[in-house]
């Protein structure tokens, strides 16, 4: 399996050269921006998006506040679990980085000596995007869009094949969705206990937020009779 995508006629390799070839026609400063965004920037953006969603959930309050926060807690945990699952996958497939087997790639970031399949960055960002979707559809769609951008950046940078990215997307999504019922069953009662505690209850519901059984109409809020209702409702 280490010989995956060694043929130049492979569509995976062809798409790699097409996307990475764009770097030859972009200014040096743009490549440096993509390098930062693809390596660290989008990961930081995903973290900030989770925090923003949490702040929105706290202000809204309502019946589903504890469940929504539980989904947000599960989001980074799921990304961590997906990374652990990827360890044996990488060791089994043993696919070299694309620049090892293919000449002429414009590699924007150095120091990549580990295996290529599947992409950790794609796995993390998609796991967090899907996890956000379980808490709030609007934030989740934004997170999934960031994950797709991350995948494009990894191929543009010359450090992953397109199928590395697709595999990362599939792995992150599978871990979140398959383990979500168990995670929510464990985390939701904990968040409800935190919500009821006088000192730490504001982690779940901000002062002035709608009490349980009521909904505060702010952007991204759950509503029992609207199409914008979140999956965790």
- Give the pLDDT band (50/70/90) at residue 212: low
CA atoms of 111 and 187, how far apart (whole Å): 38
Q: What is the mean pLDDT of residues 67-84?
A: 95
Q: What is the pLDDT of residue 206?
A: 66
Q: What is the mean pLDDT of residues 34-43?
A: 93
Q: What is the mean pLDDT of residues 203-218?
A: 56
- Res 218 pLDDT > 70: no
Q: What is the pLDDT of residue 207?
A: 62
Q: What is the pLDDT of residue 200?
A: 83
Comparison of pLDDT for 230 and 174, the residue scoring more: 174
Q: What is the mean pLDDT of residues 208-215?
A: 53
**Average per-residue pLDDT in the chain?**
84
CA atoms of 86 and 174, how far apart (whole Å): 12
Answer positive or negative: Cα dihedral of 144, 149, 150, 152: positive
Q: What is the pLDDT of residue 107?
A: 86
Q: What is the mean pLDDT of residues 44-60?
A: 91
Q: What is the mean pLDDT of residues 203-229?
A: 50
Q: At what angle do helices 42-60 and 65-93 cross, to 10 degrees?
A: 160
Q: What DSSP character marks residue 175?
A: H
Comparison of pLDDT for 170 and 99, the residue scoring more: 170
3-state secondary structure (DSSP) of residue 210: strand
Q: What is the pLDDT of residue 214?
A: 47
Q: What is the pLDDT of residue 205?
A: 72
Q: What is the pLDDT of residue 24?
A: 83
CA atoms of 196 and 218, how far apart (whole Å): 23
In this structure, of 121-125, 146-150, 163-167, 214-218, the range with the lowest mean pLDDT score is 214-218
Which are the contacts of 86, defined by CB distance < 8 A and separation ≥ 6?
Answer: 118, 120, 123, 168, 171
- Res 5 pLDDT > 60: no
Taking phi over 0 as left and psi of -120 to 50 as alpha, with beta for the rest, 109 belongs to beta
Q: What is the pLDDT of residue 6?
A: 45
């Amino acid at each position: 399996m280490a010989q995956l995508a060694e043929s130049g006629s492979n569509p995976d390799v062809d798409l790699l050269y097409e996307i990475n070839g764009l770097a030859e026609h972009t200014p040096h400063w743009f490549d440096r921006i993509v390098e930062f965004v693809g390596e660290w920037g989008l990961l930081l953006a995903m973290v900030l998006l989770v925090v923003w969603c949490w702040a929105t959930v706290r202000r809204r309050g309502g019946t589903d506040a504890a469940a929504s926060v539980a989904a947000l807690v599960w989001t980074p945990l799921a990304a961590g679990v997906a990374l652990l699952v990827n360890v044996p996958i990488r060791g089994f497939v043993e696919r070299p980085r694309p620049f090892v087997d293919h000449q002429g790639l414009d590699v924007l970031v150095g120091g990549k000596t580990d295996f290529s399949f599947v992409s950790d960055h794609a796995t993390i960002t998609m796991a967090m995007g899907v996890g956000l979707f379980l808490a709030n559809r609007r934030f989740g769609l934004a997170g999934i869009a960031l994950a797709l951008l991350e995948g494009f950046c990894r191929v543009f940078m010359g450090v992953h094949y397109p199928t590395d990215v697709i595999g990362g997307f599939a792995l992150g999504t599978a871990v979140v969705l398959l383990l979500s019922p168990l995670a929510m069953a464990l985390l939701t009662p904990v968040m409800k206990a935190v919500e009821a505690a006088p000192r730490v209850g504001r982690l779940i519901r901000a002062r002035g937020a709608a009490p349980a059984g009521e909904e505060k109409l702010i952007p991204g809020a759950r509503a029992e009779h609207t199409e914008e209702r979140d999956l965790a409702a």
